[in-house]
Amino acid sequence: MAALLSAGVAFLELHVQKRKPLSWRATHWILLRLAADGVAGYLAYTLLEFAFGDLDWFGSIWSALVAGLVGPALLRSQLSLIGSGDETSAGPAVVFRRLQRYADEAVDDIGANAQSKWIHSKVLPVLDRPGSLDYLVQRADDYLAQLDRLDQVVRDAKREQIRQAAADDTNDALKSRVIVQILLDLKCQRAVRSIVADLRKAPAMAGRG
């Protein structure tokens, strides 16, 4: 159970810390990261069992929960048993840190490539249609106005940023690209997908502004 909990926490961390969705093309790297954290949780439980196995409370579910949560955290903190714990150490914490970083970078690179391909192949061609910019600006502004997870100050600043981008002295294609990137930086890919889907299904709405 400790291993499963550690792996679950690792998956949530990967999902939350990225500005873009996880790509299925990075599945093998995601599984490697989850496996590493799962092993860390299992090792933490084993150490706790060795130290506190004779105590009555240890057999409860709480011991597995604690091990699952603290195992990866201990290794990330570089509490190496060998050496000083710095990058030149050969301890397990350093091995875990390097493995985690390598997997995270691979997941990030694959996800960035997938999102870039999606933007250029699915999003921008639809937004190049005449009149699409007005609809994009209206939808983006309305969406951000209703987004409670952003602070009011941040919401207002991003809405103003979108208005300024729309009023900029450039072509509509570049304006649309800037506005889409603003939304994606805020992890609003669902909103972009919804806007593009509506424009694709009913192109006439773009002409209505």
Please, is 131 exposed, middle or buried when counting C-beta atoms within 10 Å of its C-beta (0-12, 13-18, 19+)?
A: middle
pLDDT at 28: 84
Two structure tokens written together for 39:
């092993």
Q: What is the CA radius of gyration of the chain?
A: 23
- Whole-angstrom CA distances from 95 to 71, 76, 88, 100, 101 are 14, 10, 10, 9, 10
CB atoms within 10 A of CB 162: 21
Token duo for residue 37: 């954290």
pLDDT at 39: 72
User: Pseudo-torsion of CA 114, 108, 14, 94, nearest 10°?
Assistant: 160
Per-residue pLDDT of the chain (209 residues; tens, 9 = 90+): 655 656 666 666 666 666 667 677 778 877 877 777 777 776 666 766 666 656 565 566 656 666 556 666 666 555 444 444 455 555 666 777 788 788 888 888 988 898 899 999 999 999 988 889 999 999 999 999 999 999 999 999 999 999 999 999 999 999 999 999 999 999 899 999 999 999 988 755 544 44
* pTM of the model as a whole: 0.64
Domain range list for the chain: 2-110, 128-207
Residue 175 has a pLDDT of: 96
CB atoms within 10 A of CB 24: 9
